[in-house]
Amino acid sequence: MNTNERLSALFDFDGVVMDTESQYSIFWHQIGVDYLQHDNLEQIIKGQTLTNIFNTYFSHLSDKQTEIDQKLKYFEQHMKYEYVTGFESFLADLKAHGVLTAVVTSSDEGKMAAVYEAHPEIKGMFDYILTAEMFSKSKPDPDCYLLGMKLFGTDAAHSFVFEDSFNGLKAGMASGATVVGLATTNQAEDIAPFCHYILHDYHDFSFDKLMTWYERRHS
């Protein structure tokens, strides 16, 4: 690696920073059943912005979108926000080695306000927090990750994307970055075709181990 080039690490939020995806699965499963008679909606929409979810799956229920939005806001206000195992230590290690870090989430500012209330430290942990309002296209489009690279002045060759959902993993791969899949939401064997490397969590993971993967991929 050229030591003059800084690296960037772009993290999805739910299922990657915070272990929340199982809670969302329960919420969106019930929404799918109640409004669409669909028993697998939670798997299809993971990683997408709420706007994209509404436009794609609820366009014929415009009168119900406000109701669903209100239910989601209430749900997010009462969720449990707990870090994925080892995340805080891993992030601190990255920052100690000068890696630029950002959250790149399909969640909106309203949801993140609930996160900041539960974890005020989050705002100071990253160089940027990019939310759904900041990019025009939803994952699996790479728009959000390309924006993160642009803000940092880095390129795909010097960027890592950490994702858990299929839509997010596809977005990371389309961005050209090195993609690390978190097997927190889906099974490792299921996400393997959509990422370069896999972690179950960040326990005992470090900057040095990440660099081993980096050198392996770019050698």
Q: How confident is the model at residue 3 (pLDDT cuts 50, 70, 90)?
A: very low
Residues 42 and 67 reside in one and the same domain: yes
Q: What is the pLDDT of residue 218?
A: 86
Residues 70 and 107 reside in one and the same domain: no
Q: What is the pLDDT of residue 133?
A: 95
Residues 66 and 149 reside in one and the same domain: no
pLDDT in tens, 47-85: 898 999 999 999 999 999 999 999 999 999 899 999 999
Residues 130 and 197 reside in one and the same domain: yes
Residues 125 and 203 reside in one and the same domain: yes
pLDDT in tens, 12-23: 999 999 999 889
Mean pLDDT to the nearest integer, 141-167: 97
Looking at residue 18, the DSSP 8-state letter turns out to be: B
Q: Cβ distance 98 to 209 under 8 Å? A: no
Residue 71 tokens read as 């239910």
pLDDT in tens, 20-40: 988 999 999 999 999 999 999
Q: Cβ distance 131 to 112 under 8 Å? A: yes
pLDDT in tens, 185-207: 999 999 999 999 999 999 999 99
Residues 73 and 104 reside in one and the same domain: no
CATH code for the domain in which residue 187 is found? 3.40.50.1000
Q: Does 2 reside within a domain?
A: no
Residues 43 and 126 reside in one and the same domain: no
Q: Does 99 reside within a domain?
A: yes
pLDDT in tens, 83-102: 999 999 999 999 999 999 99
| CA torsion angle 155 84 109 161 (round to 10) | 10
Tell me what percent of the residues of the chain surpass a pLDDT of 70. 98
Last residue of a domain, one of 77, 101, 124: 77
Phi, psi of 83 (to 5 degrees): -65, 145
Q: How confident is the model at residue 2 (pLDDT cuts 50, 70, 90)?
A: very low
Residues 171 and 211 reside in one and the same domain: yes
Q: What is the pLDDT of residue 47?
A: 86
Residues 13 and 44 reside in one and the same domain: no
Residues 41 and 94 reside in one and the same domain: no
Q: What is the pLDDT of residue 128?
A: 98
Question: The pTM is what?
Answer: 0.90
Mean pLDDT to the nearest integer, 106-130: 95
**What domain range includes position 100?**
8-19+81-218
Instruction: Determine whether 2 is exposed, middle or buried from the number of CB atoms within 10 Å of its CB (0-12, 13-18, 19+).
Output: exposed
Residues 54 and 126 reside in one and the same domain: no
CA angle 111, 160, 55 (to 5 degrees): 40
Residues 69 and 105 reside in one and the same domain: no
Looking at the 3D structure of the chain, how many domains does it have?
A: 2
